[in-house]
């Protein structure tokens, strides 16, 4: 707008069908808008976000020579980009658009207060117009995007995302805190409903990920620090001391020797025995170990917490390989990537805290994951399902579904459905009937949620095979101290009577929760969480792979419980979304960075420590000190602007006059907003 031109604002009120028009008087709001100073046109439409709705904006800009556009509709978090595009199409700078949120923050929350909602909508429009009068042309800053990506977590979701990115020609760091990739899926025996062997379908993927020229495997590595923004994330990785080196690392370290080839001689002589977490603690491992034979990379790792540094492993490894370094320490590595996909997975909840079910108190109460290892041919028992107390084959196995899921009692349980436990319990039931002739599974369930393709059919199949279904939440499990059998007590809600079933083994389909370090990772990457601690997607329907932090995407269970197909599908979506800015090569950032009004700046420097990004500094200009902003570092939070005692910092698009105008216009009718 020219300096001295009076603002000419167009206001457009959306009905959103009846979402808005059903709870407040759209026409009254439109008439009111027409009465506001500087408003030269006000209109309404059924759906402003539709093409005809947007055309109203485009046409009005031309017909009325508008300097600003206000749309009163839903949330700017949903449709600000839509209307900004329309504003730009009409010929105005897209930052000359302001939105009044009369749906999410008005009609939907005041559905039974027609007058209150209408009055509020008028105020919201007035506030928006007050700001729109003062909006100015801004140029988005364009930053180059690093042609590289990072995936945090190398379970099936992380691996899929990394493979997709790598196949799209993007250098991808696949970061995994464990010594091997593969994640939870590699612990599973079979997958429902097809009964594929989990390792058989996963291991080739692990090999693909390990061998892909565009994938840099960073196993036994944690994210230490994150700086930067979309296109330019500077990430510090902590490569935990592994105690061994592979061939490439030997070369890099300038050491003689071929490095670890996974022969395992070291483990055979290691005197320290620890439980193997991969086998859910049911099998031993040495202090120098691999989780299982198919690990990727096939390289031994020393658990330095357990290692006694006796040196036997180093001796047997010999000088030719020279792979072992007992003095190895963590090292830090800095990498720069354009986008990041988080795929940090899940843990089981501490189901022993549900004391009524006796997990960890009764030997024969196990979790679903322990069952997976016990039934797996490569597991600790070679695939023989035995009960832990005496090694006997269980003939009656109880499955407690919703063990901690859909549990609103507070405390240990989780209110949500963990989503795959019904299906794996059905699978477990099938497996024992298949492996142990005459064995009977009892499934204690609340609902059976067989929600996926071919899942309901699988449910029928297990029913027909002879599994017993008892509907009711298990109240208590008690052990017969002599036989170690378990009495599962519940009410059969279909028969309306209490039941008490004697089982040889009980499997708890424990609820799942985010990983313990999910919180730390989330905070580092600036991602929100939902109430249960799962990472929060940008929009549950329209942007399920994205987050509100540009350049950070989500895959798999870290976003919420899901099974393997859903995880893989989301991973592919996340990889696709992450590859867009990388392939475009540059992204436009909203130009909300701070500016220093040098005439007002006293050079006091109080703003400098306010900035968390170190974007501000003092410089010598002519004969005095003034503050200067490094635009590329500024993220536009405005913390400096909220603090500057001299009012010398100008936060673009959120300037003090603009915010004051909004405050004034609400409190002093009709439009305030002096400088």
Partner 1 sequence: MTDGDWRPKIIAIICNWCSYAGADLAGGARIQYPPDVRAIRVMCTGRVDPLFIMKAFQDGADGVLVSGCHFGDCHYLEGNYKCAKRMFLVKNVLKNIGINDKRLRMTFVSASEGAKWGMVMEDVVKTVKELGPSPLTERKN
Listed in sequence order, the DSSP H helices in 322-409 are: 368-375
Rounded CA-CA distance 227/208 in Å is: 30
Per-residue x/- track, 49-88, partner 1 (CB under 8 A): --------------------------xxxx----------
- In terms of CB distance, is 383 or 672 closer to partner 1? 672
Q: By CB under 8 A, is residue 101 in contact with partner 1?
A: yes
Q: Quick one: which segment of 7-15, 111-119, 216-224, 273-281 binds partner 1 (CB under 8 A)?
A: 111-119
Assigned token pair, 440: 């009977």
Q: How far is CA 105 from CA 109, 115, 538, in A?
A: 6, 15, 18
The H or E element that residue 157 is part of is helix 156-167
Rounded CA-CA distance 626/618 in Å is: 5
| Residue of 67, 106, 187, 579 that binds partner 1 (CB under 8 A) | 106
Per-residue x/- track, 556-585, partner 1 (CB under 8 A): ------------------------------
Rounded CA-CA distance 225/373 in Å is: 35
Name the minimum Å distance from CB 17 to partner 1.
15
Q: Give φ, ψ of 325 to 5 degrees.
A: -130, 100
Q: By CB under 8 A, is residue 600 in contact with partner 1?
A: no
Residue numbers 622-641 binding partner 1 by CB under 8 A: 635-639, 641
| Residue of 232, 393, 610, 617 that binds partner 1 (CB under 8 A) | 610
Q: By CB under 8 A, is residue 463 in contact with partner 1?
A: no
Name the minimum Å distance from CB 556 to partner 1.
19
Q: By CB under 8 A, is residue 621 in contact with partner 1?
A: no
Q: What is the three-state SS of 552-585?
A: EEECHHHHCCCCHHHHHHHHHHHHHHHHHHHHHC
Per-residue x/- track, 473-512, partner 1 (CB under 8 A): ----------------------------------------
Q: Quick one: which segment of 98-106, 211-219, 495-503, 617-625 binds partner 1 (CB under 8 A)?
A: 98-106
Assigned token pair, 656: 């003090």
Q: By CB under 8 A, is residue 642 in contact with partner 1?
A: yes
Rounded CA-CA distance 156/567 in Å is: 8
The H or E element that residue 175 is part of is strand 171-175
Q: By CB under 8 A, is residue 656 in contact with partner 1?
A: yes
Q: By CB under 8 A, is residue 536 in contact with partner 1?
A: yes
- The partner residues of 348 in beta bridges, in order of sequence, read 512
Q: Quick one: which segment of 234-242, 303-311, 559-567, 651-659 binds partner 1 (CB under 8 A)?
A: 651-659
Assigned token pair, 343: 């795929």
Listed in sequence order, the DSSP H helices in 326-482 are: 368-375, 421-435, 455-465
Rounded CA-CA distance 639/642 in Å is: 5
- In terms of CB distance, is 190 or 562 closer to partner 1? 562
| Residue of 36, 42, 57, 127 that binds partner 1 (CB under 8 A) | 127
List strands edge to edge, sheet with 68-73. 39-45, 9-14, 68-73, 97-101
Residue 319 exposed, middle or buried by CB count within 10 Å (0-12, 13-18, 19+)? exposed
Name the minimum Å distance from CB 362 to partner 1.
37
Q: By CB under 8 A, is residue 110 in contact with partner 1?
A: yes
Per-residue x/- track, 253-292, partner 1 (CB under 8 A): ----------------------------------------
Q: By CB under 8 A, is residue 36 in contact with partner 1?
A: no
Rounded CA-CA distance 396/433 in Å is: 10
| Residue of 103, 285, 414, 650 that binds partner 1 (CB under 8 A) | 103
| Residue of 531, 599, 620, 622 that binds partner 1 (CB under 8 A) | 531
Question: Before 193, cis peptide (omega within 30)?
Answer: yes
Q: By CB under 8 A, is residue 167 in contact with partner 1?
A: no
| Residue of 31, 225, 668, 670 that binds partner 1 (CB under 8 A) | 668
The H or E element that residue 635 is part of is none
Using alpha carbons only, give the angle 136, 48, 126 rounded to the nearest 5 degrees: 50
Q: Quick one: which segment of 247-255, 262-270, 381-389, 525-533 binds partner 1 (CB under 8 A)?
A: 525-533
Q: How far is CA 184 from CA 100, 340, 373, in A?
A: 46, 21, 11
| Residue of 305, 481, 667, 675 that binds partner 1 (CB under 8 A) | 667
Name the minimum Å distance from CB 134 to partner 1.
13
Going by the DSSP 8-state scheme, the letter that residue 441 receives in this structure is: E
Q: By CB under 8 A, is residue 25 in contact with partner 1?
A: no
| Residue of 22, 91, 415, 612 that binds partner 1 (CB under 8 A) | 612
Q: By CB under 8 A, is residue 140 in contact with partner 1?
A: no
Rounded CA-CA distance 554/161 in Å is: 10
**Nearest-CA neighbor of 512 among 427, 414, 428?**
414
Cα radius of gyration rounded to whole Å, the chain: 31
Name the minimum Å distance from CB 448 to partner 1.
28
Using alpha carbons only, give the angle 373, 479, 278 rounded to the nearest 5 degrees: 15
Assigned token pair, 363: 């030997």
Name the minimum Å distance from CB 76 to partner 1.
7
Q: Quick one: which segment of 10-18, 343-351, 440-448, 661-669 binds partner 1 (CB under 8 A)?
A: 661-669
Name the minimum Å distance from CB 662 to partner 1.
5
- In terms of CB distance, is 38 or 639 closer to partner 1? 639
Rounded CA-CA distance 29/669 in Å is: 15
Residues near partner 1 (CB under 8 A), total? 55
Q: How far is CA 359 from CA 451, 489, 506, 655, in A?
A: 29, 15, 9, 59
Q: By CB under 8 A, is residue 662 in contact with partner 1?
A: yes
Q: By CB under 8 A, is residue 643 in contact with partner 1?
A: yes
Q: By CB under 8 A, is residue 408 in contact with partner 1?
A: no
397 three-class SS: strand
Q: By CB under 8 A, is residue 675 in contact with partner 1?
A: no
Question: Which residues are at the interface with partner 1 (CB under 8 A)?
Answer: 75-78, 101, 103-106, 108-113, 116-117, 119-120, 123-124, 127, 523, 526, 528-531, 536, 548-549, 592, 610, 612-613, 635-639, 641-643, 651, 654, 656, 659-660, 662-664, 666-668, 672
């Amino acid at each position: 707008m020219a300096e001295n031109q009076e603002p000419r604002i167009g206001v457009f009120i959306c009905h959103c069908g009846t979402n808005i028009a059903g709870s407040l008087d759209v026409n009254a709001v439109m008439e009111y808008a027409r009465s506001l100073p500087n408003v030269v046109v006000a209109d309404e439409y059924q759906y402003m976000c539709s093409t005809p709705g947007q055309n109203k904006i485009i046409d009005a800009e031309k017909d009325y020579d508008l300097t600003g556009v206000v749309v009163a509709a839903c949330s700017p978090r949903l449709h600000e980009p839509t209307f900004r595009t329309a504003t730009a199409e009409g010929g105005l700078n897209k930052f000359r658009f302001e939105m009044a949120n009369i749906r999410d923050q008005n009609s939907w929350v005041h559905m039974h207060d027609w007058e209150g909602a209408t009055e509020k909508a008028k105020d919201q429009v007035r506030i928006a117009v007050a700001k729109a009068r003062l909006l100015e042309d801004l140029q988005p800053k364009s930053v180059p995007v690093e042609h590289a990506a990072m995936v945090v977590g190398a379970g099936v979701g992380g691996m899929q995302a990394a493979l997709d990115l790598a196949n799209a020609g993007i250098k991808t760091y696949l970061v995994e805190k464990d010594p091997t990739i593969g994640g939870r899926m590699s612990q599973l025996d079979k997958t429902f409903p097809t009964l594929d062997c989990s390792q058989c379908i996963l291991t080739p993927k692990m090999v693909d990920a390990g061998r892909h020229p565009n994938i840099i495997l960073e196993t036994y590595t944690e994210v230490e620090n994150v700086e930067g923004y979309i296109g330019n994330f500077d990430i510090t990785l902590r490569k935990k001391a592994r105690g061994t080196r592979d061939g490439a690392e030997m070369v890099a370290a300038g050491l003689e020797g071929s490095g670890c080839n996974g022969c395992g001689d070291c483990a055979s002589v290691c005197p320290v025995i620890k439980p193997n977490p991969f086998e859910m603690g049911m099998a031993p491992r040495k202090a120098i170990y691999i989780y299982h034979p198919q690990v990727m990379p096939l390289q031994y790792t020393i658990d330095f917490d357990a290692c006694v540094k006796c040196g036997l492993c180093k001796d047997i490894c010999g000088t030719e390989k020279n792979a072992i370094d007992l003095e190895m320490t963590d090292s830090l590595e800095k990498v720069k990537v354009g986008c990041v996909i988080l795929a940090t997975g899940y843990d089981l909840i501490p189901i022993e805290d549900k004391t009524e079910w006796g997990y960890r108190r009764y030997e024969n109460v196990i979790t679903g994951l322990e069952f997976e290892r016990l039934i797996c041919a490569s597991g600790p028992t070679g695939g023989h399902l035995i009960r832990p107390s005496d090694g006997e084959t269980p003939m009656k196995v109880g499955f407690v579904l919703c063990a901690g899921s859909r549990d609103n009692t507070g405390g240990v349980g989780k209110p949500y459905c963990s989503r795959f436990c019904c299906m794996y319990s059905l699978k477990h039931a099938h497996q024992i009937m298949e492996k142990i002739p005459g064995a009977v599974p009892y499934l204690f369930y609340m609902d059976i949620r067989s929600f996926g393709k071919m899942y309901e059919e699988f449910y029928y199949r297990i029913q027909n095979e002879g599994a017993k279904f008892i509907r009711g939440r298990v109240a208590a499990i008690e052990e017969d101290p002599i036989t170690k059998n378990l009495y599962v007590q519940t009410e059969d809600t279909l028969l309306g009577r209490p039941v008490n079933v004697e089982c040889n083994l009980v499997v708890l389909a424990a609820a799942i929760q985010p990983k313990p370090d999910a919180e730390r990772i989330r905070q580092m990457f600036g991602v929100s969480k939902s109430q249960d601690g799962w990472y929060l997607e940008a929009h549950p329907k329209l942007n399920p792979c994205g987050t509100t932090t540009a350049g950070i995407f989500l895959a798999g269970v870290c976003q919420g419980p899901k099974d393997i197909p859903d995880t893989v599908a989301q991973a592919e979506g996340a990889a696709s979304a992450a590859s867009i800015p990388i392939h475009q090569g540059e992204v436009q950032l909203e130009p909300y960075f701070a500016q220093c009004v040098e005439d007002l700046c006293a050079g006091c420097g109080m703003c400098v420590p306010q900035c968390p990004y170190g974007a501000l500094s003092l410089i010598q200009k002519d004969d005095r000190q003034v503050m200067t902003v490094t635009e590329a570092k500024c993220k536009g939070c405005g913390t400096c602007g909220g603090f500057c005692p001299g009012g010398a910092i100008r936060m673009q698009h959120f300037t003090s006059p603009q915010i004051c105008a909004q405050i004034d216009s609400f409190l002093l009718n009709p439009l305030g907003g002096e400088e």
